[in-house]
Structure 1
Amino acid sequence: MKKVIAVMLTAGLAACDTLPASGPLSSQIEKQAGKSRQELNRPNAAVYDVVDVDQKTARMVASFSSSLLSRRFGIGGAASRVVIGVGDQLKISIFEAGSDGLFSTSESKQTTIEVVVQPDGTGTIPYVGPIKLAGRTQEEARKAILEKLVNKAVEPDVLVTAAGTTSRSVTVSGAVGKPSSVELSLAGDRITEVIARAGGPSSEPYETYVTLVRGNKTASVLLKSLIENPRENIYVDPRDQIFVTHDPRTFTVLGEVAKNARQNFGANDLNLLEAIAMAGGGSDDKVDAEGYFVFRYEEPEIVMDLLGPQRFHDLQAKGMMANKDGRYPIVYRFNMHAPDSLIVGQSFPIKNRDIIYASRHPTVDFLKFMQLIATPVGTASGVRTLTD
């Protein structure tokens, strides 16, 4: 009898992988982590890694999420150097001490000349000729013009002001009041200032995403992050592109919870514990408390910080691929048996489109197997009794 029971237990455990189930076991998720497609013998398998979340990890993810723009673009403290560009309209006022100079009369000792910077970067000043203006600050342009007027005008002085800054403009489009090309001021403008000049956002800040495109770099953040974290509200550069989109944030909860469903955030912020509570919490008799997972496509900088550069590059070599937004698959694991998980869970932010999965306990599959084999055994026993 002992041998029979042992065989049944072995067969039951082996059969667990083929039983009906709502998703993988915690052990199955961990087993596939870090494996290449060749190792998995699945040519199209997704390559990912699993990260156990502790207080340090939760703080790192939360901190990076609130500083994406300043880290990726490497700016945020001050506006870039403001220079004159092609197409800018300048007002150049020339003053002379005498009343019989090149630019003065008995009625006025000054003349104002309007200049448009040409494609070659120059502007033409009477009695001076073409002079390089593009790439210079207003003060540098003033000094260059003044130098050319020495020995020509009577004790000259020059004032340069901008009438139009076509070269210093950014494009704002999407869910704003007035999508347009916005000219930047000479003092520099931050993202929220530019959006305000384009009519402001049309939706709530916690449902509005701002995407900044600069050269070959791009990043998207919530508008509320720019408001709450001034360092993220970086200065824009000429020719930047800003896209504002309304995208109500959602997350999906699957597995051994009371309600498998897609949920709306409905708030500015949401942490892991709040998200699980919104799904009715884990099932007491089925959920594996050590197997709560968050499946996410994460920013490459976060993945590299979490795994280390060498591990990150090794996984790329094994076939880990970014999605269309340049983010990489990562799986966060939480051990709800640990008492401090109730603290760590409050620090870990849920992001838009996250998948939260509560895996079932391994004994659930074994009990299913026992129920499957119990029915035919009981039926056979009943038949034998009637026959006897």
Structure 2
Amino acid sequence: MRFGLIKGRVVLSAMKSVSAIFVAALLAGCAALPGSGPSSSELSASDIEGGLNSQDYFNFKLTPEVAEIAGRFTPTRFADYFGIKGTEPRQRIGVGDVLSVNIWEADEKGIFSTSYGKKTTVQTSVDDTGRIFVPYAGRIRAAGLSVEAVRETVEQALVGKAVKPQVQIIVTGNQTNSAVVVGDVNKAGKYPISVAGTRLLDLVAEAGGARGKAYETEVTLKRGDRKASTLLADLIDQPRNNVRLVKGDNILLTTKPRSFTAFGAVKQTTLKHFPTETVTMAEALALVGGLNDLSADASAVFLFRFEEPEVVARLSPKDQHKLSDFPVPVIYRLNLRDAKAWFVARYFHMRDKDMIYVANHPTAELGKFLRIIQPALAAARSSQLIADDLDK
């Protein structure tokens, strides 16, 4: 009987040792608990309190000053890429253009005079050799020349053949100096560029306007090997973006509803489309149901965004030399435990494809850990009770 009691105590001792080892292993692996993303401590280390953390991204605390710079920024990419400095480039005649040549003579008996008057109109077009044909003047070089230069050439060619000729040339079919607009417009096509200058919005209006909402319509302009995109609404908000067009420009309008995503300790992890033209960070959090009261760390609300280099240069002037012309990965941190932060969130505007992440509170991680090891603790407690009974 005593041998059996000793054997039972040995088994129970071994069981308690195994339970202790198991708990210790779980404690050691606490950092490897499953989660929806990085913890607040991982995203708030001392080396990312502001400025450049690594070669990968920037990190800024979302203060009123930062929100004023980044939250209401409207890019002027079109103005930077396609702005024309100085006067409008003079238009040139090209192959395929249709010209109306009006010729007047001083005598009603001239070769271009008729019984109705002293004027004759000749319709001609620029052939594939770059020339036009005018009776009695012959084949005249036109491609690559201005309208005035061609007018003078035709007039000189008629001297001695017509009676004091006067020539006027009107471009009635402008194929060379034109731009193409396609995509989500009501009347896609090729449209001439006015001699007075045609701006981007002028051409969109001539094409019947966009099919979608202005704040959901992306305008892409391609000129040669350069290409850039912006929202149609930005052409209105920033008049500099409403650039003058040049021949050969291609414009594509695409309807792209804007959206943001929310992850972490929020009540609804989801993708949300912008319900209105502007959505603030406070409104975005409300759209996903707000923070999860049981797990969220209100001091660790993060917004991930590919930011414009111009904005990052203003937020971190010391790192300006490290920036390129491409969007820069940036993390903004907002501490909602501070009452002033709610006012910042109220006027910080969201952008398309922004990501909001709310980190878990450290106590939430502890609760998750305790739930995982609860079976092991229960087993250890049962072993202890049995051992106590045997000792009696």
Under a length normalisation based on structure 2, what TM-score does the superposition of the two structures give?
A: 0.76
Distance in 1 separating the partners of 2:144 and 2:81? 26
Match of 2:323 among 312, 319, 323: 312
For the pair 1:264 / 2:278, whether they are aligned, the reply is no
1:115-194 map, 5 Å? 115-149=124-158, 153-194=162-203
Distance in 2 separating the partners of 1:173 and 1:373? 62
Distance in 2 separating the partners of 1:228 and 1:81? 29
1:236-247 map, 5 Å? 236-247=245-256
Quote the residue 2:7 is aligned against. Answer: none
Quote the residue 2:8 is aligned against. Answer: none
Distance in 1 separating the partners of 2:240 and 2:85? 6
The structure whose Rg is larger is 2
In the alignment, residue 288 of structure 1 is paired with which amino acid? D
- CA distance 1:27–1:237, change in 2 (3 Å): farther
- CA distance 1:194–1:62, change in 2 (3 Å): farther
| Contact 1:77-1:234 at 8 Å conserved across structures | no
- CA distance 1:27–1:167, change in 2 (3 Å): farther
**CA deviation digits over 1:71-114, x for unaligned, max 9?**
33224998654332221111111222223445335653222222
Q: Structure 1 residues 271-280 or 370-379, which shifts more?
A: 370-379
Q: Which runs of 5+ in 2 are unaligned?
A: 1-23
Quote the residue 2:364 is aligned against. Answer: 364
Q: Secondary structure at the match of 2:323?
A: helix
CA RMSD of aligned residues (A): 3.5
Match of 1:83 among 71, 88, 92: 92
Distance in 2 separating the partners of 1:193 and 1:365? 58
Q: Secondary structure at the match of 1:310?
A: helix
Alpha-carbon deviation of 1:216?
1.8
- CA distance 1:336–1:141, change in 2 (3 Å): farther
1:250-329 map, 5 Å? 250-299=259-308, 302=311, 308-312=319-323, 327-329=327-329
| Contact 1:76-1:232 at 8 Å conserved across structures | no
In the alignment, residue 72 of structure 1 is paired with which amino acid? Y
For the pair 1:25 / 2:25, whether they are aligned, the reply is no
Alpha-carbon deviation of 1:179?
2.9
Distance in 2 separating the partners of 1:153 and 1:138? 21
| Contact 1:76-1:233 at 8 Å conserved across structures | no
| Contact 1:250-1:263 at 8 Å conserved across structures | yes
Quote the residue 2:5 is aligned against. Answer: none
For the pair 1:224 / 2:233, whether they are aligned, the reply is yes
Q: Secondary structure at the match of 2:81?
A: helix
In the alignment, residue 151 of structure 2 is paired with which amino acid? R
Alpha-carbon deviation of 1:165?
0.6
Q: Which runs of 5+ in 1 are unaligned?
A: 1-9, 37-46, 314-321
- CA distance 1:79–1:252, change in 2 (3 Å): farther
| Contact 1:89-1:165 at 8 Å conserved across structures | yes
1:20-59 map, 5 Å? 20-29=34-43, 34-35=53-54, 47-59=56-68
- CA distance 1:59–1:237, change in 2 (3 Å): farther
Q: Secondary structure at the match of 1:162?
A: strand
Distance in 1 separating the partners of 2:386 and 2:353? 59
Distance in 2 separating the partners of 1:141 and 1:55? 61
Quote the residue 1:214 is aligned against. Answer: 223
- CA distance 1:63–1:380, change in 2 (3 Å): closer
| Contact 2:74-2:238 at 8 Å conserved across structures | no
- CA distance 1:329–1:380, change in 2 (3 Å): same
